[in-house]
A and B are shown apart, each in its own frame.
Chain A
């Protein structure tokens, strides 16, 4: 399996999804070697994790983000910073060497960063190639056309693949539309959420101030995620203004960092709602968990969200969700509010209803909680296992 990141060295949902998929697949006696572009200690035994990097490089240091440059430290001591395109090439060459020495039945690669390497591996060994699409370039570019080099890699690889996995119907439709891939070559395998993390909540919330304000009648709307154009947060701020005009005791908690950070802070001030919008920056651990738990409503207003795991996490922490109709997660979740990302009036309408009505909030939360219980990574693994089987027996050919 070819992947770009695994927790805890992940920048977002991709690494988490890979981890849980593999863990559930391993229960079905799938023997996985997961090939990363960097060295990372992996102390669990359900799969083997191998680093593929340039010959002679002994250490590869990854920054926090998957899209940053990496530092390669070579055996002879010299160091090189390599950008994202350079890393892809290095990874491709290293994978090409690795596959010569390995025995395997299927190549399963996650997202465009690994696709060139996946094609090389397929070329060398001619085994079934399954490409797993967690997002396409148009999603990441917030509905714009994005980077044409990346589009080209996605287009070519998806054409060459034996099978394509999309994390949602939303993503499948996008692949068909953007890259003209035949729909029957694409299988939807929805992501899920790891429920074991939800048990760790402390009695004492990290947001002491917000808890105090709630006691005074305030209600809290939160968003946790990267502050990037894909996530639709400018619309959320326009919505916040409309909500605060009607219900002044509403706080919006924006948790995360990203290239829109300064822009969003400025916009909140320009809209005159700086007192009601709290920016925390990037958070981990308890601060991250409590960002969900303190809220009365989690809002994911993404312009385009291939799946979108955060609303499921929110529900796990006891907070109902409002998600954009342009997300994959809406396909697996019925008991949540759904709105078009551009429909600020309707979003304001729904948020206002929740912050003014604890009964609505509680009902949404309870029902969403029951729904969440049925979701499992094992379901995703079952589907994948079946797909592997089809290719190995020739049924899919």
Chain B
């Protein structure tokens, strides 16, 4: 029986808002330009992540692609990280282009700004998806066929939209409450759709790599490629193992010292030595396997936290107020036709800003704390709202009713 690993890595960096005060509002519009040594400086973070993660990982991936003709993977890369790579780490961007040039790396569609626009403005959402599509065509010469929404936020409406938009596939979290007794290791068909297929993340296997790999207290530590391939081989009834994770797992979340690069290096060899095993991109898995069943997801499921909902971004009042205020400006901002203003507004839509305001991390998952450049969620909220006030100021300057 043939079985495939569907490795999909998500690459993203936001434009972090600097310590932007009410005294800056109306004076300078440089929300995203922190001093270089500040924790919110985007250029410095790009330099660091390129050096620790993008460059060494891509070097390894290219080597694997060259050494194993059967090795394949899929990537999603947001517009906001692509822009920053163009500006501050062109060599890292080149390394992604080199991967794609092998013809065995598929790019997945998403919103350019890594936003939650789907839940607030359908037209803005579609604009951002189109912007991303254009950017991918420009930089990588391919047109994405499979869609993933920000934070893997998925529901029936999204599947319906993606089906109508002509995507052949869509990605979602393989959350137990959705799957029930079923396994994530098959292709599925979203409810209420005609042609589109659904790939669901095997979060146990994915998190073994993304979260638990370096944890010495984990009973399975140390995780070797040999052991991992063995687990997959032992799983009888399966067609595709959907290993979906943040790209920054390699070198950033799991440091090089953890042995993560050795794991990556050995995985293809260990997996491919068994007859019938393969790697597939997301499109290939959809083309090769028949859907096993239909999946109905009336409520939004994401890939975050134990709740697997949007509460990490929209769960508290600060987050709800901030995002509502932001989308409340949509029509006025677009009406200005001022592209600098529109782009600043779009950069503020990036989901990370709302994640930084999450108060769950006082008890749930230190992961929020690790990824926030702010001292606390309140500082994140205040900097964001001050930037919002400045958008309002700029609208007023253009004669809009504020």
Contact = CB atoms under 8 A, between A and B. Distances in A.
Interface of A: 206-213, 215-216, 261-262, 265-266, 269-270, 272, 274-275, 278-281, 287
Interface in B143-162: none
A270 B316 CA distance: 8
Given A216-B402, A287-B23, A209 B317 contact: no
A207 B386 CA distance: 12
A215 B26 CA distance: 13
Given A208-B26, A208-B27, A213 B396 contact: yes
A207 B390 CA distance: 11
Contact of A206 (B23, B376, B401): B23
Nearest to A270: B317
B22 A278 contact: yes
Contacts of A215: 396
Contacts of A281: 382
Contact of B378 (A210, A262, A280): A262
Nearest to A218: B402
A290 to B, nearest CB: 9
B396 A212 contact: yes
B91 to A, nearest CB: 40
12 contacts: A206-B23, A208-B23, A208-B26, A208-B393, A209-B25, A213-B392, A262-B378, A266-B316, A266-B378, A269-B320, A272-B317, A275-B325
9 closest A-B pairs by beta carbon, nearest first, are: A208-B26, A209-B25, A269-B317, A274-B321, A209-B26, A270-B317, A269-B318, A269-B321, A209-B393
Given A212-B26, A213-B393, A215-B396, 13 more contacts: A209-B25, A209-B26, A209-B393, A216-B402, A262-B378, A265-B318, A265-B382, A275-B321, A275-B325, A275-B388, A278-B385, A278-B386, A280-B21
B397 interface: yes
Interface in B293-309: none
B381 A265 contact: yes
Given A265-B381, A278-B22, A212 B393 contact: yes
A280 B20 CA distance: 11
Contacts of B59: none
Contacts of A209: 22, 25-26, 389-390, 392-393
A265 B26 contact: no
Contacts of A261: 378
A211 B320 CA distance: 27
A378 B359 CA distance: 51
Contacts of B25: 208-209
B322 interface: yes
Given A209-B393, A279-B382, A272 B23 contact: no
Contacts of B392: 209, 213
Contacts of B389: 209, 278
Contact of A207 (B22, B318, B320, B397): B22
B396 A266 contact: no
Contacts of B393: 208-209, 212-213
B375 to A, nearest CB: 11
A279 B321 CA distance: 15
Contacts of B378: 261-262, 265-266
B17 to A, nearest CB: 16
